[in-house]
Structure 1
Amino acid sequence: MKKKAEIREKMKKCLKSFDLAEKSRQSAIIIDKLTASEVYKTATTIAIFMPMSFEFDETSLITRLTSDKTKRFVIPKTLPARQMIFTDFPYDARDRVLTSFGVTESRSNEAVTPDLIIVPGLAWTLDGKRIGYGGGYYDRYLAHFTGQTASLVYDFQQLDVTSSAIDFEAYDLPVQQIFSAK
């Protein structure tokens, strides 16, 4: 059985050394697939994560959401006890803060419930289970979430195994849809 911790470290290294031209190419394809999908078209409030430099490049998705007046755009905010909420994206830079994780968050504490969450992670199995960073923020939130979930995944992040081959816990929930360049 493969260990999540080992896969997590391997994927971080792969992401940090990922060729920028290939990253850009795959990002464009994946975001086009997402925005053409029914799950995106029917969503009114979309939660995306604010990526670290080596994570999935959501730049063009953020640009689309910013200009699309039919979609509400929310981002995660971490709270004590490894809890998380989503807040409206703060368009004014003075309303943002950089966390100790190196991620941009809103200063607001007004929670918004999305109907689609773009779930981050490091690796995904064929049956949609993801290996995140190990903090459990998304797992805790998703345990009570009734909307749609999706992930944007570079080709090498999709593992060629099912979740039974990895040491997942009962609280590790699969995402409903995976969008990749494949």
Structure 2
Amino acid sequence: MESKAQIREKVFKKLKIFPTDQKKRQTKQVIAQLTASPAWKKAEKVALYMPMPEEFDLTLLFEEEQEKTILIPKCLPQRQLMFANYDKNQLQRSTFGLLEPTATEAIEPDLILVPGLAWNTNGYRIGFGGGYYDRYLANFSGQTASVLYDFQRNDFQPEPHDKPVQHMFIGEKNEF
């Protein structure tokens, strides 16, 4: 079985070469699955993430006018994480190059879209290696979900500190 580091590298390479047309098709398909789900419909405060070019594209969720409070993460010292209101006019770039809210009031979401690079069939994920989400999820009682492209499903053993997501929304298989 491949190590987490090997899977992380393999999936990251695939994300970089994923054809734009296939990415757009799967993105629309997965976003439609997500927004039709009971977890999405029930949630009032949804935590999204500001996607990097290689990550699943959540742009459609930010563009849609919705009756939900959209929150985004902010990294804190000691690899801690908080969520604050999303305001496209109140963002700053973090030391990691991510766009983060300038707001300092932490808000507890009902549903968190958890980013990552790979997921196994039980919802455990391989993230970018910082452990921010696993730390936050250790004390989170709301719903968790991830959106992923078809090739981001991989077989691996989770580590004791890993926290699985409850819902996964996955694009249809493409060959490239």
Query: Is the TM-score greater than 0.5?
Result: yes
Task: Supply the distance in 2 between the matched residues of 1:46 and 1:179 (Cα, whole angstroms).
Answer: 16
What's the offset of the Cα at 1:100?
2.1
Matches for 1:148-159 after TM superposition, within 5 Å: 148-159=143-154
Alignment of 1:72-151 (within 5 A): 72-92=69-89, 95-151=90-146
**AA matched with 2:128:** Y
Q: 2:26 is paired with a residue of what secondary structure?
A: helix
Q: What is the distance in 2 between the residues matched to 1:102 and 1:14?
A: 21
Q: CA deviation at 1:10?
A: 1.0
The equivalent of 2:165 in structure 1 is 175
The offset of 1:102, in angstroms, is 1.7
How far is the alpha carbon of 1:91 from its aligned partner? 3.0
Give the secondary structure class of the aligned counterpart of 1:174.
Answer: coil
1:61 and 1:21 map into 2 onto residues whose CA distance is 19
SS of 1:46's equivalent in the other structure is strand
TM-score by length of 1: 0.91
How far 1:155 sits from its partner (Å)?
0.2
- Quick check: 1:13 aligned with 2:10? no
* CA shift for structure 1 position 133: 0.4
Instruction: Tell me the number of residue pairs that the alignment of Structure 1 and Structure 2 aligns.
Output: 172
Point out where structure 2 has 5 or more consecutive residues left out of the alignment: none
How far the C-alpha of 1:99 sits from its partner, in A, is 1.3
Identity over the aligned pairs, expressed in percent?
Answer: 49
**1:117-150 Cα distance to aligned partner (Å, 9 max, x none):** 0000000001110000010000000000000000
Q: Once superposed, which parts of structure 1, at least 4 consecutive aligned residues long, lie more than 4 Å away?
A: none
Structure 2 counterpart of 1:23 = 23
Q: CA RMSD in A?
A: 1.0
